Amino acid sequence: MSNARATHPTRRGILAAGGALGLGAVLAACGDDDAKSGGSGDGTGGAAKSGPWSFKDDRGTTVKLDEVPTNIVAFTGVAAALFDYGVQVKGVFGPTTKDGKPDVQAGDLDVDKVTVLGNEWGKLNVEKYASLAPEVLITTTFDTAGTLWSVPEESKDKIAKLAPSVAISVFDRQLTQPLQRMWELAESLGADMKAKKVTDAKAAFDKAAARLRAAAKAKPEIRVLAGSASPDLFYVSGTNLSVDLEYFKALGVNFVEPSEEAKKATGGWFESLSWENVDKYPADVIIMDDRASTIQPADITEGTWKKLPAVKAGQVIARSPEPILSYDKCTPLLDNLAEAIENAKKVG
């Protein structure tokens, strides 16, 4: 789900449209598969050592440590989610800054207080990583193999020897599942999940979900297309594998679906269209990939794009294909889509 610069369905192209095929074998983590997630803390994100820690991740792998880890390295989006719960990491890898400012995937993370081990997808400096004396590496996984997201294939074995890894799955499930798993992970690391900020964020998310469900029910005729732009291709995402789209669909949103035949080349994730054929699927609202690796709507110069009814009507909003998995950051995704549907005119 990163780096939309491919002109054919390579790995990078697949990532751009909001999905990922297998990227290699799963990295090994220590421990067995029988222990349950646990750990305790004082609400400061594991700042105080509090005895043995274990967590069973979505690969079925249980990581066990003698103490709650504080030297944590995480994919940028995961670090941003943990930060929302009060857990601070030491190092990050993945898109972190853009033009000197925090990347969209960094959320509220103070990027000046973390060591950036790689500022783009698939980059992680092993030497810098080792210098942090990492106790655990945390990221997501976008396939059934449990491949660690953004961990470089060429150095994954060296990385695996330095610290155990934890993976939260964001593959073929609704958004609420990884949100719950990130909640459990943060709690195990010492976050105070009863803090007002946390409970208020969860309540706001539930309210936004109800709003989106109501909007979709009130305007079932509004068709929503999930798109992503690269210089040579426009990608139309299907809803069957992406956590956000699966959840929005479950709430009743009427999505444009690429044909199954067209999606076969990308493992079911999306269909790639030439800019000449960008009008293949009529849509009333377009939600566009907001990651820095993709072309944003304001910067699309293709005449065929500008002629799309939804574009002419101003019914284009941002989408986060790699949502930051905290309730605080996912609530606006629901509210923004609900508002777009509430105000949309039938144009497609």
pLDDT of the chain, 348 residues: tens digit per residue: 333 333 333 333 444 444 333 333 222 233 333 333 333 333 333 344 468 999 999 999 999 999 999 999 999 999 999 999 999 999 999 999 998 899 999 999 999 999 999 999 999 999 999 999 999 999 999 999 999 999 999 999 999 999 999 999 999 999 999 999 999 999 999 999 999 999 999 999 999 999 999 999 999 999 999 999 999 999 999 999 999 999 999 999 999 999 888 888 888 899 999 999 999 999 999 999 999 999 999 999 999 999 999 999 999 999 999 999 999 999 999 999 999 999 999 997
What does residue 107 show for φ and ψ, rounded to 5 degrees? Answer: 55, -130
Contacts of 213 (CB under 8 A, 6+ apart): 251, 252
DSSP code of residue 276: G
Cα pseudo-dihedral 147, 149, 150, 151, rounded to 10:
-40
8 A C-beta contact, residue 74 and residue 325? no
* Model pTM score: 0.86
Q: Residue 219 and residue 340: Cα distance in Å, rounded?
A: 11
* Orientation of helix 196-218 relative to helix 327-343, angle to 10°: 20
Give the DSSP H or E segment for 159.
helix 156-162
Looking at the DSSP assignment, which residues form a beta bridge with residue 169?
Answer: 141
